[in-house]
Amino acid sequence: MTVEVLGDRWSLVVLRDITFGGHRRFRELLRHSAEGIASNVLADRLKRMSAVGLLSRHGDPGHRQRVDYRLTEAAIQLVPVMAHLGAWGSRWLPTSAELAIRAELLADGGPELWSRFMDELRDVHLRGGDSPDDGVLAELTAAHERVASARR
């Protein structure tokens, strides 16, 4: 059943971009997709994940461009799953340092870091607050940019 809900190539990728990229709108998700998701696929996955309760929609539903997609508590609780998946992938699959760094930091941080990160996501996605400048997401993003700029 879990595989039925999560098990297609794109749902987890979109969820990752919302969780770690901080993107919450259709256009941002489309523009920042590292894998170059097609716009019809993105629209379909956002709709599907909203229907199963992984995302909630906020804003003007008549204007697709203005809808804000936020993680639900169910989606936030996927952080440990994503941490394990990322750690496994960076150990066993060919990947770039740029893509692996966040996965490695998250894996190394263990349950304590995941739980801090989940609290931060709850503030932002469930209560509409802002991501703190010194939080876990800021730390992961900074590490990711350090590696990315070192490669340029």
The answer for residues whose C-beta is within 8 angstroms of residue 8's C-beta and 6 or more apart is: 45
Q: What is the DSSP string of 43-73?
A: HHHHHHHHHTTSEEEES-TT-GGGPEEEE-H
Per the listing, tokens 């760094």 go with 101
Q: Is 53 in the site for a second copy (CB under 8 A)?
A: yes
Binders of a second copy: how many residues, by CB under 8 A? 28
114, 108, 117: which is closest to 137 by C-alpha? 117
Q: Is 67 in the site for a second copy (CB under 8 A)?
A: no
Which range of residues in 19-27, 37-45, 86-94, 138-146 is near a second copy by CB under 8 A? Answer: 86-94
Which range of residues in 23-31, 40-48, 89-97, 138-146 is near a second copy by CB under 8 A? Answer: 89-97
Residue from 39, 88, 119, 146 touching a second copy (CB under 8 A): that is: 88
Handedness of CA 76, 133, 29, 127 (dihedral sign): positive
Least distance to a second copy, CB of residue 73, Å: 9
The answer for residues whose C-beta is within 8 angstroms of residue 90's C-beta and 6 or more apart is: 100, 103, 104, 107
Site map 104..143 versus a second copy, x via CB under 8 A: ----------------------------------------
What is the contact surface with a second copy in residues (CB under 8 A)? 1-9, 12-13, 53, 74, 77-78, 80-81, 84-86, 88-89, 91-95, 99
